[in-house]
Chains A and B, each alone.
Chain A
């Protein structure tokens, strides 16, 4: 319907803008590294350890009352929870061993270190139940992660990202040429670094679901890049004499309406999660929304520019028709 009004053949000279793109990206990466170095990431309990509690806010359970009752220093804030419920969010680390009782202090130091988080959590639950009469069901959420697990989760998260990048590199190498896989993975690394930079700048909570979002961004950005690369390869084989730069521009233009449509629909779906899915999914959907914007940008300006810079030598390799895949003429 409306797509009829989209011009049949756009002819935007993306590759003329590649230096500007490179500069913008270099700036964004520099800024990201700067923010990551100075402000760092706002790690959630998954990676930082400690406890986060969400309490149902009532007349008796208020920020002031909880703050007054807390037996150790804690961050206590009011927030809007899932489904517009008013909640009190309590964040804290480990209490002083003296507050955790004699049985705890009798433990060997290594065991104390590992148990402190859990013991503090128990102490706080007990104190809050006594002081404010909170029932079990009013502890909407109570997550406490010890130092061992939080460092493991962080390590596993980073491993997942690196393994994903390496496998993508291998797959693109297998399906295309090495220039393409370098371009694709550089674009992915670009996306991940800049997304981390945004998380650092806005100090949004960085947790396990954020890692999941980063991996999805990698998948999505890859998806976008592959579609463009597929076209580049096809056009290159069709117009053997055409300069690389024009080939890439042609491919980018002919996939442009698809790129915009797919990003558009995915963004619509994600905006619905961001605004309606509640606070648990907010960080994740924010990362995904940002990732789709940056992923679309990077497949045009980073991945393609790198392929252009490295040059294509598609004609050296004999073209095979692999069953199930459509080879080029």
Chain B
């Protein structure tokens, strides 16, 4: 217990040096330091930096309903878009989590071609993405003599949700951070939730507006004859058309089937028109550009509606065929609106709507206040504990305080080095470990006192003190560590930050109390060889 061979000393010094190097950027500006030195201090949580935290969820029912819609399209292809003699008349309908396909045309004997329809539909049923053992995506069963029910089994639902969540995350990222430069973090939670943390951003409403849109972009031909619009407003809508609104265009009849769709868009960006008003420019890919050219060539004089989420953004008149696929939307936008719309258009359509479950905003002002209050509380707490230890134990207390300083440096270093996030409760965790770190020292010192009273020399008293306190220190700290780990696993946000600092603090305080203080004590004993230890 009292031997410190050079390699041990080297390891201790190395650990302390690592702590100092890692902790340094928190105290001084390291921008001009040599390349191998870390430049970044500890990450501050949103409660200390200010920012927006949003928890959103995609609804499994909606994801499944959307997938079943797509599957209904495939079914139509297999049953209707075939040679006339092969056609099977049917009406598909998505009802909640199932797709009902009702056959409509019985043969001369009144029997429906159920078996043939089942055979063709089952052929469309692919394996679950990423599944082992070839499980199928859909469960396809007949019901009665004329109906087929398509449902999504559990295993497949998980795969679909995973896929939808991944797509949604990509779209969320592209919408809120189109240039990929901000420090916004987007992380999945479970299989249906996404957590977005945007440091510094003071306006949650803008983020929510950006994310709550479907982003379904289409180009549709428009019928703007006043009589047809008036009829539609009375409830008689021209077949194949829908009545939609637009803030600059007013109500218009829009063809249900679009000419060009969102996936035909290569990219979109905000720009300015001739009068220097913000507009949205986008470029179509080659497929989209061809469709756009064909449509504009054969529909001269008509209006071409640009529709986003069932709202007409603009409806310019087609004067001449447009080739090249460069399109723009002008309108009554602010620059910020145009930027956001461009990001939404470029990111594409969400697989399902997101819902916001939990929203927390902290302004940077409050963040700075919290940092100041937390730092002040830590320093005063540390000073009080140091005074207390020195008053109680004298010189040995001083050694413990020195190792406490080493402890703080190691905690800061570990937090920075591990890329952990420091939150306000995390600061409380550090202060708490300051108080508790002393415990290990106290346990040892009390043992040393007892051993000395039993008549042992300082050296053997120190030796015995450390040996006998070890199991107590380990037991006591492992139990607290258990609490910290549970907090980390079940906690969220700031509480997680508390758990991390508490856990790191427990490990470093055992190390500093048991190794660093002991080393200090032994060095001091060897240097001065006192007759009696004053503890």
Does A106 sit within 8 A of B, measured CB to CB? no
Please encode chain B, from 375 to 386, with 1 for each CB lying within 8 Å of some chain A CB and 0 for all others. Answer: 011101110110
Please encode chain A, from 201 to 223, with 1 for each CB lying within 8 Å of some chain B CB and 0 for all others. Answer: 00000001101100110111011
The chain B residue with its CB closest to the CB of A278 is: B373
CB distance from A280 to the nearest CB of B (A): 6
Contact of B472 among A227, A257, A280 (CB under 8 A): A227
Does A167 sit within 8 A of B, measured CB to CB? yes
* A156: B residues at CB distance < 8 A: 490-492
Does B357 sit within 8 A of A, measured CB to CB? yes
Residue among B382, B397, B432, B453 with the highest chain A CB neighbour number at 10 A: B432
* B438: A residues at CB distance < 8 A: 261-262, 265-266
Interface pair A54/B483, CB less than 8 Å apart: no
Instruction: Given A211-B495, A265-B385, decide whether A3 and B483 contact each other with a Cβ distance below 8 A.
Output: no
Residue among A208, A220, A223 with the highest chain B CB neighbour number at 10 A: A223
Please encode chain B, from 46 to 58, with 1 for each CB lying within 8 Å of some chain A CB and 0 for all others. Answer: 0100000001010
Contact of B358 among A111, A139, A145, A159 (CB under 8 A): A145
* A121: B residues at CB distance < 8 A: 359
Instruction: Given A1-B390, A2-B391, A54-B366, decide whether A160 and B498 contact each other with a Cβ distance below 8 A.
Output: no
The chain B residue with its CB closest to the CB of A279 is: B373
Instruction: Given A223-B480, A264-B388, decide whether A273 and B363 contact each other with a Cβ distance below 8 A.
Output: no
Interface pair A143/B361, CB less than 8 Å apart: yes
Secondary structure call for the B interface: helix
CB distance from B311 to the nearest CB of A (A): 12
Bound Cα distance A114, B357 (Å) = 7
Instruction: Given A85-B369, A114-B357, A276-B380, decide whether A215 and B486 contact each other with a Cβ distance below 8 A.
Output: yes
Does B425 sit within 8 A of A, measured CB to CB? yes
Does B105 sit within 8 A of A, measured CB to CB? no
Does A171 sit within 8 A of B, measured CB to CB? yes
CB distance from A130 to the nearest CB of B (A): 13
Interface pair B428/A285, CB less than 8 Å apart: yes
Which positions 477-511 of chain B face chain A at CB distance < 8 Å?
A: 477-484, 486-487, 489-495, 498-499, 502
Contact of A142 among B204, B382, B389, B427 (CB under 8 A): B204
The chain B residue with its CB closest to the CB of A121 is: B359
Contact of A140 among B205, B363, B382, B436 (CB under 8 A): B363
Contact of A2 among B370, B392, B475 (CB under 8 A): B392
CB distance from B339 to the nearest CB of A (A): 18
CB distance from A262 to the nearest CB of B (A): 4
Interface pair A268/B384, CB less than 8 Å apart: yes
A-binding segment of B216-224, B237-245, B442-450: B442-450
How many residue pairs link A and B with beta carbons under 8 A? The number is: 261
* B385: A residues at CB distance < 8 A: 265, 268-269
Instruction: Given A1-B391, A142-B360, A218-B483, decide whether A326 and B47 contact each other with a Cβ distance below 8 A.
Output: no
Does B251 sit within 8 A of A, measured CB to CB? no
Interface pair B480/A8, CB less than 8 Å apart: no
Instruction: Given A149-B55, A159-B490, A266-B436, decide whether A273 and B377 contact each other with a Cβ distance below 8 A.
Output: yes
Interface pair A222/B479, CB less than 8 Å apart: yes
Interface pair A140/B366, CB less than 8 Å apart: yes
Does B210 sit within 8 A of A, measured CB to CB? no
* B432: A residues at CB distance < 8 A: 216, 266, 269-270, 288
Which positions 145-169 of chain B face chain A at CB distance < 8 Å?
A: none
Bound Cα distance A140, B51 (Å) = 10
Does A277 sit within 8 A of B, measured CB to CB? yes
Interface pair B431/A157, CB less than 8 Å apart: no
Instruction: Given A82-B366, A168-B479, decide whether A230 and B472 contact each other with a Cβ distance below 8 A.
Output: yes
The chain A residue with its CB closest to the CB of B62 is: A111
The chain A residue with its CB closest to the CB of B57 is: A148
Bound Cα distance A89, B446 (Å) = 49
Interface pair B498/A325, CB less than 8 Å apart: no
A-binding segment of B5-13, B259-267, B463-471: B463-471
Contact of B470 among A273, A276, A285, A325 (CB under 8 A): A325
Instruction: Given A143-B361, A273-B381, decide whether A125 and B205 contact each other with a Cβ distance below 8 A.
Output: yes
Does B355 sit within 8 A of A, measured CB to CB? yes
Interface pair B389/A114, CB less than 8 Å apart: no
Does A237 sit within 8 A of B, measured CB to CB? no
CB distance from A314 to the nearest CB of B (A): 15
Contact of B392 among A3, A146, A231, A325 (CB under 8 A): A3
Can you sample 28 A-B contacts with CB below 8 Å? A1-B393, A1-B394, A8-B453, A82-B370, A85-B369, A118-B208, A125-B205, A137-B202, A138-B363, A140-B366, A141-B361, A149-B358, A156-B490, A167-B482, A208-B494, A209-B425, A215-B486, A219-B484, A222-B476, A223-B476, A226-B475, A265-B439, A268-B381, A269-B435, A272-B431, A277-B424, A277-B428, A281-B424
Nearest 6 CB-CB pairs, A to B?
A266-B435, A219-B483, A219-B480, A272-B381, A1-B394, A269-B435
